[in-house]
Structure 1
């Protein structure tokens, strides 16, 4: 464990082996089996989590019982309810493993210590948060200004193996359509 985290961090910032070895001491390794929860709605998000291996989803359920998937957390991604993590407020999200997963968890106090003791990590997380903000804005604008077909095609382009790893109803939820609409889209789209 930690190999993928080291690769992702080193791809983003310059960090010494000593700094990374120190960082490792602040993370909690965790294996999470498929269909188990890392976070449930109403609980505070006490960890931000790096996905070393596996696949998670972050979602909420509305008052009508419909699921709305905010994010799929794949290998090399971070997953958390950042608002809850930073404020201690109860989360509005569930984070569930879609595959058996190997995770690296860090608490808020350990995260603060990491940023203080290894300033390069402050730059790393700033870059991640900036990229996340940009991706979130693009996804929001895409939801408002593109067709369901365009959103589905973009998802397939960005994550080619997602249809083999995620049930169709979850893909429908992620792009904001019904299962029936996704089924129609899939039958109409042909890739050359």
Structure 2
């Protein structure tokens, strides 16, 4: 299975064998049961995960105890508390399995060290950072400029996001859209009835 992780990295830039060989011994398989966490607030030694099977989410726990889901991960996605890794801070979010999940993990600290040791890793890291930034910008623009119904329509119209509709409970999908489950039900009913 590590070959799937290498292939994912190589979507961003080629990795010569010596560069891959420097990471490979640090890659470990990890199985998460449903609702088990990979990362919790306060964690210090943060892992990077690559999801082979299953679905996960990351969420923030607000001061009133509300969970605010901000991202979902599916097979083929890399997952981490990216902000905490980059800034060297303790984790501020929770990464939780929504289904039984199989991952490959390695310490972010190892990857960070490889940036200095192998130019190929530095290039891969830069390309990943660009990809993450573009994704965050897209999500921010959608959240700030589109209505909840328009954001839901976008999810329905985007084949790559159909996994959200198929695998994620309605209350979590509603939280991701920034609305209540009741509001999401109304939007779905209106769209099913042909409403605009």
TM-score, normalised with respect to structure 1: 0.89
1:128–1:88 Cα change, 3 Å: closer
Q: Is 2:114 the counterpart of 1:114?
A: yes
Contact 1:143–1:151 (CA<8 Å) still a contact in 2?
A: yes
Q: How many residues matched? A: 192
Q: CA RMSD in A?
A: 2.1
- 1:147 aligns to what? 147
Matches within 5 A, 1:81-120: 81-120=81-120
**What CA distance in whole angstroms lies between the structure 2 residues aligned with 1:24 and 1:189?**
48
1:25 deviates by: 1.4
Q: Is 2:4 the counterpart of 1:4?
A: yes
1:121 deviates by: 2.1
Structure 2: where are the runs of 5+ without partners? none
- 1:165 aligns to what? 167
Which digits, 9 at most, give the CA deviation of each residue in 1:106-154, with x for residues without a partner? Answer: 2233112332343222212211111111111121121111011111122
1:33 deviates by: 1.5
- 2:185 aligns to what? 183
TM-score, normalised with respect to structure 2: 0.87
Which digits, 9 at most, give the CA deviation of each residue in 1:149-189, with x for residues without a partner? Answer: 11112223141122221100000011111100011111122
Deviating 4+ runs (over 3 angstroms): 16-19
Any idea what SS the aligned residue of 1:91 has? coil
Structure 1: where are the runs of 5+ without partners? none
1:55 deviates by: 1.4
- 1:130 aligns to what? 130
- 1:76 aligns to what? 76
Any idea what SS the aligned residue of 1:48 has? strand
**What CA distance in whole angstroms lies between the structure 2 residues aligned with 1:53 and 1:45?**
24
Q: Which has the higher mean CA deviation after the structures are superposed, 127-136 or 108-117?
A: 108-117
